Structure 1
């Protein structure tokens, strides 16, 4: 498990408000230029969704070199992994891949955690495949700021986000250059600039996550309606309170251990 050391807080609240007031009226190209000249340890964090692909293309067009963090949950669609390869080949960015701790393949994950962990305990699953690997990435790479593809038009917890946010408790700066864009603007940019994108978009998907919890979006549905359909959930944990997620994870693990200890005397062989 990564340490809990945090990057130095870059801005106080008045400064952050001032920055967001200025950036709110800027185009993504200007926001990314500001970010690249403001932060020495700047990374793009992406799962190669449509918004992330737009950001990668804009950075490349501006000649801005930003290394990429990709959290491979070991449960991505094959199409997503193929896109990661194609994107790296086209743009030549430095790619840092982080997977669940102690696992390099889906088979190793199943051997360690069992099959369909997301069904049995989605809190443990989200922390194990996304939150912990991402935190480990920030720690190992000494990231002080990450660029994300989040947009307000995706609704849910993202509807009220700012262009620049500071992660509670850690001080990590998150920059959202497409905060004001709609999905249509993203799609128009992808097609106009011949940007590589996930072929699942041609099959009705708009937001692509793990294969087991993503479906195509129906006509009239919100963009992220295909993620965790039927659940009261809009985020996987990457953009939630890290310490709250970690506390929930540790509580679940403790409960699981207590249950196992309670069962073991009953199943022990009689001498």
Structure 2
């Protein structure tokens, strides 16, 4: 039975879909293993429908962003096309020959002439200030739009804690990961009609990432995940950042290697394991975006039911006492 990349959402039906059998996927990965990351990204931009990039502006994601930008510039130069100024996005007229996917991107406020792969940042509301500053520097440096997604119905940390309580990552980390990462991520896929997502995961990050394929099909949803720098080491990433003067998180100069939320991130304690500064003391290596979506959603829903039952019991007990 073929695995389909047609992600179940309200926009995907308007886009073409890509379908791969396991044998086909194995064949493609064997070919991609021989290509440079730039060539992998270029292939994906030409081949995969509904392609977006999600990033928390980690080192690998920044390298990928820079590569996409360079590929886009080269393609424009080859076609003798000038980039569309930022100010023209609102007045840009729709072309009758454009496919529905491009129209959806324009409706979402994304200017495809300035950047060909939508860039999505999930703001958990608990990022380091240095990460938020970097997000702005990246937008200014590349003159590209950034679509930001936050937890549902929340604009600030105070909003989130009023709805879900303080230090939720300590009392219920499953619900925390679902609320601040998974749900906003899935919402972004729906808005963009995403069928393929570029991630910054690499095999050298070890843990669950040690045996990454370059192209994966997410179990259950059929969402394609592309890991173009899967074969690179941290040193290769760092060398690229320096060589091409790519903006990066200033925390990297303070011993950090993988930067997530401030409450669960420290400088790397093991120089041979760049993610050793994440979730110290916990048997955890992923935040939720790259685990089984339906399993995590089921765990979240089960946790919510238990909380509601407990609250109802407490309210009933309080009523009896009164």
1:35 aligns to what SS in structure 2? helix
Q: 1:221 Cα shift? A: 4.6
Q: Bigger CA drift: 180-189 or 217-226?
A: 217-226
Native 8 Å contact 1:67 1:93 kept in 2: no
Q: How does the TM-score come out when normalised to structure 1?
A: 0.95
Q: What aligned pairs does 1:13-162 form with structure 2 within 5 A after superposition?
A: 13-63=22-72, 65-162=116-213
Corresponding residue of 1:201: 252
Structure 2 unaligned runs (5+)?
1-6, 74-115
CA RMSD of aligned residues (A): 1.4
User: In structure 2, which of residues 222, 236, 247 is the aligned counterpart of residue 185 of structure 1?
Assistant: 236
Q: Bigger CA drift: 254-263 or 162-171?
A: 254-263
Structure 1 unaligned runs (5+)?
none
Any idea what the Cα deviations from partners look like across 1:80-134, whole Å, max 9, x if unmatched?
A: 0111111111112231111100001111111111110101100000000000110
Native 8 Å contact 2:264 2:278 kept in 1: yes
Structure (1 or 2) with the larger CA radius of gyration: 2
Q: How does the TM-score come out when normalised to structure 2?
A: 0.81
Any idea what the Cα deviations from partners look like across 1:63-84, whole Å, max 9, x if unmatched?
A: 1621101111000000001111
2:53 aligns to what SS in structure 1? strand
Q: 1:212 Cα shift? A: 0.2
Aligned length: 268
Any idea what the Cα deviations from partners look like across 1:190-247, whole Å, max 9, x if unmatched?
A: 0111100000000000000000000001353510000001100000110001001100
User: In structure 2, which of residues 218, 222, 233 is the aligned counterpart of residue 167 of structure 1?
Assistant: 218
